[in-house]
Chain A
Amino acid sequence: AQSVAQPEDQVNVAEGNPLTVKCTYSVSGNPYLFWYVQYPNRGLQFLLKYITGDNLVKGSYGFEAEFNKSQTSFHLKKPSALVSDSALYFCAVRDMTNYGGSQGNLIFGKGTKLSVKP
C-alpha cells in the first residue's frame, strides 16, 4: 500500500535558524509528492511539489524540499525560520494504485507541528 510518514509530531526551531520537516514515502513506481501548510482555522496552502526533474524543489515563502529516491524521503527545508512559519505541515503523495495512475487522490501524513520561537 502507498503511504507517507512524518516521523516527528513537533519540530521546535529558533527564529533565524534553518528548519527541516521530515517526510518519507512508500509508493510503487515514481512518486508525486506535495507539501502543504495549515494555519489555525484555515485550509491547506500549497507549498511545493515534486513531479520529476531536479531533486531540489523550490516553493513558496522561501521553502524548498529535497527529493531523495534512495532514502525515499522528501524533507521540507528553509534556511532561516520565521516566527510566522509556525503552523502544521503536511506531506502528501499521489495515490496511484486504484485508477491507472491518471487521477489519484492525495494520501497525507499525520502532520508536523512547527514551532518557531523568537
Chain B
Amino acid sequence: KAGVTQTPRYLIKTRGQQVTLSCSPISGHRSVSWYQQTPGQGLQFLFEYFSETQRNKGNFPGRFSGRQFSNSRSEMNVSTLELGDSALYLCASRTLPSREETQYFGPGTRLLVL
C-alpha cells in the first residue's frame, strides 16, 4: 500500500499570505490528523477529521483551518501567515479515530514564511 502523501513538500510564502496544504491518506484510512512541528514547540496537534467532520481540535488560532473530502483526502489552510507559522506540517492517517489505531505519518510539508 502507498503511504500517506503530502503536497507540496516545500513551500515559501510571505507574511500575510495564505497557504493550502494537501494530504492523501493511506487507502482505506478514513481519519486524518494534522500536526505542526517546530524546534521550539515540538510536535503539536492541530486537528483531526473523520467522515468529513472535524472531530478534535488543538489549541491553535482560527487562522488554521481544515477540511476533509468524501474520498478522505484532507486539506489544511493557514490564512494571514505569520513568521511563527514556519514549520514542518505533518499529516497522519488511521483507519478509524479509535484509541488503539496507529497513526501513520506522511513526509510533511515544510513551510517557510518570510
Q: Which residues of A contact B (CB under 8 A)?
A: 32, 34, 36, 41-46, 49, 51, 90, 92, 94-96, 98-99, 101-111
Contact = CB atoms under 8 A, between A and B. Distances in A.
Interface residues of B, number: 26
Nearest to B46: A105
Interface of B: 4, 6, 33, 35, 42-43, 45, 48, 50, 55-56, 58, 90, 92, 97-100, 102-108, 110
Contacts of B90: 43-44
B105 A104 contact: no
B42 A43 contact: no
Contact of A103 (B58, B98, B110): B98
A109 B44 CA distance: 10
8 contacts: A34-B103, A44-B90, A46-B102, A103-B99, A105-B45, A106-B45, A106-B103, A108-B43
